[in-house]
């Protein structure tokens, strides 16, 4: 997604930028609970200020400066992760440092009195001294505690859990998850992560992309400038660059602590690599930065080294998209919407939007279609990095759209304001909606990031004939942790009249949009039970404040079998 700082000139890129898109749309405190982890004090000492010698940077000599993490929980296994700093010079991206043997332990209790699994693994500079492995032999639907040992030091302890056994309901009767996206280091502090950890009631975190941002210092800041500087100070391009940037984000104490608190299920969007990237290029990649394929390979390698995700090597035929189950209650398909997509079409290129363009690539689309058609889960959840639902200015009745299509070559569903999301690939979206219609299930929920704002949407089969043509799914779009949204781009306070007018216009022109907030930063908590899918949208008070409070913004629920949204009170 294309972005620029309010105090910096926007980059010139082909097509419409996210900033101008959101502007076009505009113009048409809770207290923090007690930490659930005994190891948080050790994590917090790892620095809010970040790399490059900033105040509070991790102390030289600390072996486990970047914390611990877990991810991709299954009934009998979970990914465990850490990084070791083997010597003062063996900093991330340096390529320096000797191999290190790292021991690990998994226990049933936080005091590690009952250790159920243990072992050791060797890491080296070839994988940036990261440690990541699949810890197998675990029992289903159970919490575990884990830690690492190396060079005479013990890591902070982490807490993780396994999924319920296939075909069984979770013992709690629910799957409660935090949903996050778009955390820009320079725009603010990651207080939303702290509030998610403080709840103590989450089973997992679903991270939907833009975990890091690739921009250099000052290129994409918050409303009041850079809150804290990026390291390196330039656009990241090389393998060393991506490793350094990922490592810097992992020094954030709230990010570290949430990783240590629950398993994460992640996918990437564009900024893990480069803005608005597609299979063979990106909006902000220039020839002076070298071959794009080299940059892509570097970002991929660093991502798989630093993130607690199961696939290892896309270059060897693997892929990031994958499917996980939470017993019989939910099945989540995490999509990769960057690696295989065709180039973003022009806003009036109806042939590309309706016929030739692909968001997923053929293999991923068939994999997704087969999964949706064969699923026996109560809820089919799709981890989706860019907005799926049509958002048009305005949606037109079919005859008018047909005339425009013939006259202008406009897409069949109308003129989109943002062809980087599924609106730019409307033909493939229609094919996926037909898969959902044919499957005959009324239980599909898209969880989405990318657009920095909060939305609750009934996904229509035909936007211009809503609700007459029916609804096929629900979509919850989570706000950004820190990345800019409408009020930041307009340099106005949150809740300003322009934003409020835009919200009303979007809902009126797109009647399937039941709720939208364009100004607040925060996170979403989503709960699935046999009866409903429920989303609580939360906002942080001020992303510029490291200890910011948070408050509930809105709550929406879809009862199973209805594909309809209703406003409700927040979860207890």
Q: Is residue 572 part of a domain?
A: no
Cβ-proximal residues to 407 (8 Å cutoff; 6+ apart), any chain: none
Give the Cα separation of 432 and 411 in Å (integer).
17
Do 156 and 255 have their domain in common? no
Cα dihedral 475, 451, 291, 248 in deg (nearest 10): -110
Angle at 447 between CA 564 and CA 166, to 5 degrees: 95
pLDDT tens digits for range 187-218: 999 999 999 999 999 999 999 999 999 999 99
Predicted confidence band at 49 (pLDDT cuts at 50, 70, 90)? Answer: very low
Do 67 and 55 have their domain in common? no
Do 134 and 223 have their domain in common? no
Say whether 448 sits in a helix, a strand or coil: strand
Do 384 and 403 have their domain in common? yes
Give the residue-averaged pLDDT of 37-63: 40
Q: Is residue 456 part of a domain?
A: yes
- What tokens does 301 get? 């390698």
pLDDT tens digits for range 312-343: 655 566 899 999 999 999 999 999 999 999 99
Domain that holds residue 455: 18-60+163-567
Domain boundary among 112, 133, 162: 162
pLDDT at 440: 84
Q: Is residue 2 part of a domain?
A: no
Q: Is residue 73 part of a domain?
A: yes
Give the Cα separation of 319 and 366 in Å (integer).
14
Do 252 and 130 have their domain in common? no
pTM confidence score? 0.89
pLDDT tens digits for range 469-486: 999 999 999 999 999 999
Give the Cα separation of 102 and 44 in Å (integer).
22
State how far the alpha carbon of 278 is from the alpha carbons of 67, 267, 360, 363, 537, in Å.
32, 15, 10, 16, 30
Do 525 and 407 have their domain in common? yes
Domain boundary among 145, 162, 179: 162
pLDDT greater than 80 at residue 44 = no
Do 65 and 48 have their domain in common? no
Radius of gyration of the chain measured on its C-alpha atoms: 22
Do 186 and 271 have their domain in common? yes
84 in Cβ contact with 107 (< 8 Å): no
513-517 vs 471-477, strand pairing mode: unpaired
Angle at 174 between CA 170 and CA 177, to 5 degrees: 110
- What tokens does 356 get? 């030739």
Do 141 and 218 have their domain in common? no
Give the Cα separation of 326 and 330 in Å (integer).
5
pLDDT at 208: 98
Give the Cα separation of 552 and 534 in Å (integer).
14
Burial class (CB in 10 A: 0-12, 13-18, 19+), 249: buried
Say whether 287 sits in a helix, a strand or coil: helix
pLDDT greater than 80 at residue 35 = no
- What tokens does 207 get? 């991270």
Q: Is residue 184 part of a domain?
A: yes
Higher pLDDT, 46 or 548: 548
Do 443 and 529 have their domain in common? yes
Q: What is the CATH number of the domain that holds 128?
A: 2.60.40.380
pLDDT tens digits for range 296-320: 999 999 999 999 999 765 556 689 9
Q: Is residue 139 part of a domain?
A: yes
Bridge partner residues of 384 (DSSP): 448
pLDDT at 411: 76
Q: Is residue 460 part of a domain?
A: yes
Bridge partner residues of 133 (DSSP): 80
| Closest C-alpha to 94, from 232, 297, 211 | 232
Domain boundary among 162, 187, 215: 162
Do 116 and 235 have their domain in common? no
The number of distinct structural domains making up the chain is: 2
pLDDT greater than 80 at residue 42 = no
pLDDT tens digits for range 115-169: 999 999 999 999 999 999 999 999 999 999 999 999 999 999 999 999 999 999 9
Q: Is residue 13 part of a domain?
A: no
106 in Cβ contact with 143 (< 8 Å): no
pLDDT tens digits for range 378-431: 999 999 999 999 987 645 567 666 765 666 676 777 777 789 999 999 999 999
Do 120 and 253 have their domain in common? no
Q: What is the CATH number of the domain that holds 362?
A: 3.60.21.70
- 91-119: burial string, b at 16+ Cβ within 10 Å, e else: bbbbeebeebebebbbbeeeebeeeeeee
pLDDT at 316: 63
- What tokens does 518 get? 């364009």
pLDDT at 311: 73
pLDDT greater than 70 at residue 435 = yes
């Amino acid at each position: 997604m294309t972005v620029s700082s309010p105090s910096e000139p926007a980059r010139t890129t082909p097509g419409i930028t996210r900033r101008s898109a959101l502007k076009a749309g505009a113009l048409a405190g809770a207290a923090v609970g007690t930490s659930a982890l005994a190891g948080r004090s050790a994590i917090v000492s790892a620095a809010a200020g970040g790399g490059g010698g900033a105040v509070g940077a991790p102390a030289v000599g600390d072996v486990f400066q970047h914390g611990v993490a877990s991810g991709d929980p299954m009934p009998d296994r979970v990914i465990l992760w850490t990084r070791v700093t083997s010597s003062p010079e063996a900093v991330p991206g340096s390529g320096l440092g000797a191999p290190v043997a790292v021991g690990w332990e998994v226990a049933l209790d936080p005091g590690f009195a009952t250790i159920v699994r243990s072992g050791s693994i060797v890491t080296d500079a070839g994988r940036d001294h990261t440690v990541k492995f699949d810890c197998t032999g675990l029992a289903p639907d159970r919490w575990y505690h884990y830690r690492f040992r190396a060079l005479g030091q013990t890591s902070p302890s982490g807490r993780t859990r396994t999924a319920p056994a296939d075909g069984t309901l979770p013992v709690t009767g629910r799957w409660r998850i935090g949903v996050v996206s778009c955390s820009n280091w320079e725009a603010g502090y990651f207080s939303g992560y702290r509030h998610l950890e403080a709840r103590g009631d989450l089973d997992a975190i679903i991270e939907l992309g833009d975990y890091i941002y690739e921009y250099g210092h000052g290129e994409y800041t918050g409303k009041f400038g850079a809150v804290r500087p990026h390291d390196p100070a330039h656009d990241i391009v090389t393998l060393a660059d991506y490793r350094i940037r990922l490592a810097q984000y992992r020094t954030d104490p709230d990010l570290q602590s949430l990783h240590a608190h629950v398993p994460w299920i992640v996918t990437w969007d564009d900024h893990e690599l480069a803005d608005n990237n597609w299979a063979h290029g990106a909006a902000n990649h220039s020839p002076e930065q070298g071959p794009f394929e080299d940059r892509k390979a570097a970002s991929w390698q660093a991502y798989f080294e630093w993130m607690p995700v199961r696939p290892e090597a896309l270059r060897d035929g693997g892929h990031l998209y994958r499917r996980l189950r939470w017993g019989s209650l939910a099945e989540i398909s995490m999509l990769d919407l960057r690696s295989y997509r065709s180039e973003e079409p022009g806003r009036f290129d109806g042939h590309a939007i309706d016929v030739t363009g692909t968001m997923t690539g053929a293999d991923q689309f068939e994999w997704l279609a087969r999964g949706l058609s064969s699923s026996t889960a109560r809820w089919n959840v799709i981890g989706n990095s860019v907005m799926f639902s049509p958002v048009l200015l305005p949606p037109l009745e079919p005859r008018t759209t047909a005339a425009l299509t013939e006259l202008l070559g406009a897409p069949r569903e109308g003129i989109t304001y943002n062809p980087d999301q599924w609106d730019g690939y409307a033909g493939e979206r229609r094919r996926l909606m037909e898969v959902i219609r044919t499957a005959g299930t009324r239980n599909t929920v898209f969880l989405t990031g990318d657009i920095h704002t909060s939305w609750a949407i009934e996904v229509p089969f035909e936007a211009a004939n809503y609700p007459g043509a029916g609804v096929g799914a629900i979509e919850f779009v989570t706000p950004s942790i820190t990345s800019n949204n409408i009020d930041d781009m307009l340099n106005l306070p949150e809740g300003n009249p322009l934003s409020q007018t835009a919200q009303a216009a979007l809902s009126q022109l797109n009647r399937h949009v039941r709720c939208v907030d364009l100004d607040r930063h925060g996170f979403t908590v989503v709960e699935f039970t046999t009866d409903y899918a429920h989303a609580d949208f939360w906002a942080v008070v001020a992303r510029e404040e490291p200890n910011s409070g948070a408050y509930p913004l809105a709550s929406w629920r879809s009862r199973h079998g209805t594909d309809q949204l209703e406003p409700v009170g927040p979860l207890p």
